[in-house]
Amino acid sequence: MGKIGAAFSLFQAGFILAREGVISAIPAEVMPPAAKIGHALAGLIARRRSKNVEQSERLSIALNKLGPSWVKLGQFLATRPDVIGTQIATDLEMLQDRMKPFETRLARQTLENSLGRNVDDVFTSLDEPIAAASIAQVHKAVIKKTGETVAVKVIRPGVRARFIRDLVTFDTAARLQEKYLPASRRLKPVAVTQMLSQSARIEMDLRLEAAALSEMAENIKDDPGFRVPQVNWELTGRDCLVLEWIEGIKFNDTKTLVENGHNLVQLAETLMQSFLRHTLRDGFFHADMHPGNLFVDHNGIIVAVDLGITGRLGKKERRFLAEILYGFITRNYLRVAQVHFEAGYVPHHHDVNSFAQAIRAIGEPIHGQSAKTISMANMLTLLFEVTELFDMETRTELLLLQKTMVVVEGVARTLDSDFNMWKVAEPVVSHWIASNLGPAGVLTDAAVGMKSITRIASQLPVFAERAERLSVAMDDMAENGMRFSEQTADQIGKSEAWHGRWGRRALWVIALTAITAVYMQYFS
């Protein structure tokens, strides 16, 4: 889809948002004059019934009409109050990725195309869909060969083409935002959109989700109270994923959890500590941990499904994260500020002590409040507001982490209204710091460094040979000048000729415009 198609899609999206009363619900006082005109027009276009609907519901209706990729975008933006404002972010938190299921006959066709076999030869039964989202839907089935009950996840027909078209539209909107709204550039809307695009593309290849499940299963095999379903690799392909069927209670069904004797406080602690353990220890975490993706089996173990969206952090980012969290827990705000500077999150022309003062303004209220009022979402909102004063740019590698941390804390609070994230996080964070930043961690880093040095040393003959060739080439260039191949010279000539033709045409347009202006001035 070209620029014209993207522009048309943006216009179409704007019309639907206006029609559902989303634009007219935004306060006009904060808008520039040109935007106020558009706001007034949107009010005229809005349906009459939309004025009687809550703003959050208007937004949900509009995004669902725009399609699955817009629903994904809305869910993603719900965790970015720094980008879209606190009120809109709160409204988007209500948005759920629930789509109308597609027909089972279409799912059977997709399965047969992916497996290369007739569905009836593989499964004894394939039930109607039990859950449907924007990218795929899930069926319960029984494998004919083994009699095992499984969950079969099938890609929604035509979803890839739709996503690709919409992602081009998102990219166009982000580039226009960066170009015409300089204040938004530190938020890196283009980089954020590209990250969202990459995440969606990965999510639409179910082989990659199977690989993620396999990797996480290896990482957490010795962890208490948390696991993921086993993958049936023989029946898994790009468009279908076959998993162990999970018999359990959903996290949002607290009444049934209590009736079955499960400890809600313990489940909340296990969920948060598991997430932090995966993030800090493994650098690999489930990035879509909403209640619909979390079950509790009969043994009281949390089972996380739908690993289509995952996040990764390198060793350096994990160290920064651990030190920032530990600094807030121990009220060492100067260290929190220093870590932001060491990581390059805050430009060095700012004063670290002034930034530490700003961090203290966020941290101290946390320690002075009850557990019920301490919120990671609120803290991140305050942090975004403060870091804007210090020119801190959006870190795209941390976006999924921030999003998931807010979601996990919210899920934990539904189980335990007195949930204190900082108290629950302390054992995991302090253990990681002791293991990785203490003497043992120093020795491990030294061993890794020695391996890197050894590997570089083994490549020294190759480097020396390349350096010698470079030296000869530079001597030749100094004596004979820079030379291009015939193909390169021909391409440069064509390019210059093309620019020359368009330059002459531009001059003719300017000249004709000037002549017309003079004519209109003297002869009208």
What per-residue confidence (pLDDT) applies to 173? 80
Q: What percent of the chain has pLDDT over 90?
A: 30
For 10-28, what is the mean pLDDT? 74
What per-residue confidence (pLDDT) applies to 2? 61
* Edge-to-edge strand ranges of the sheet holding 123-132: 123-132, 136-143, 149-155, 240-244
Q: Does the pLDDT value for residue 104 go beyond 90?
A: yes
* Gap between the Cα atoms of 148 and 480, Å rounded: 75
Estimate the share of the chain in helix, then strand, then coil, as percent rounded to the nearest 5. Answer: 65, 10, 25
Q: How confident is the model at residue 370 (pLDDT cuts 50, 70, 90)?
A: low
DSSP character at residue 309: S
Which one-letter amino acid corresponds to residue 401? L
Confidence (pTM): 0.72
Which one-letter amino acid corresponds to residue 511? A
Average pLDDT, the chain: 79
* Gap between the Cα atoms of 71 and 166, Å rounded: 11
What per-residue confidence (pLDDT) applies to 32? 62
Q: How confident is the model at residue 509 (pLDDT cuts 50, 70, 90)?
A: very low
* Length of the chain in terms of residues written: 524
Would you say 329 and 422 are in contact if contact means Cβ atoms under 8 Å apart?
yes
* Gap between the Cα atoms of 524 and 518, Å rounded: 10
Phi, psi of 99 (to 5 degrees): -120, 160
**Angle of the 264-277 helix axis to the 396-415 helix axis, nearest 10:** 170
What per-residue confidence (pLDDT) applies to 506? 47
What per-residue confidence (pLDDT) applies to 202? 84
Q: Does the pLDDT value for residue 492 go beyond 70?
A: no
Q: Which residue has the higher pLDDT, 11 or 255?
A: 255
And the tokens for 450? Answer: 């020695």
pLDDT digit string, tens, across residues 388-434: 778 776 666 677 787 788 888 888 988 998 888 878 888 988 888 88
* Gap between the Cα atoms of 307 and 276, Å rounded: 17
The lowest-confidence range among 100-104, 169-173, 274-278, 424-428 is 169-173
Q: Does the pLDDT value for residue 302 go beyond 90?
A: yes
DSSP E strands in 368-472: the ranges are none
What per-residue confidence (pLDDT) applies to 391? 79
Instruction: Count other Cβ atoms within 10 Å, centred on residue 219.
Output: 17
Tell me which residue of 228, 303, 215, 229 sits closest to 267, measured CA to CA: 303
pLDDT digit string, tens, across residues 76-86: 776 666 556 66
The lowest-confidence range among 5-14, 16-25, 434-443 is 434-443
pLDDT digit string, tens, across residues 236-256: 999 999 999 999 999 989 999
Which CA distances in Å does 260 have to 46, 334, 478, 523? Answer: 49, 47, 82, 92
- Chain position carrying tokens 């302090």: 430
For 294-305, what is the mean pLDDT? 95
Kindly list the catalytic residues: 288
Using a 10 angstrom Cβ sphere, with 0-12 exposed, 13-18 middle and 19 or more buried, the burial of residue 399 is buried
Q: How many CA atoms lie within 13 A of 96 on its CB side?
A: 9
Bridge partners of 302, per DSSP, are: 226, 296
What per-residue confidence (pLDDT) applies to 512? 44
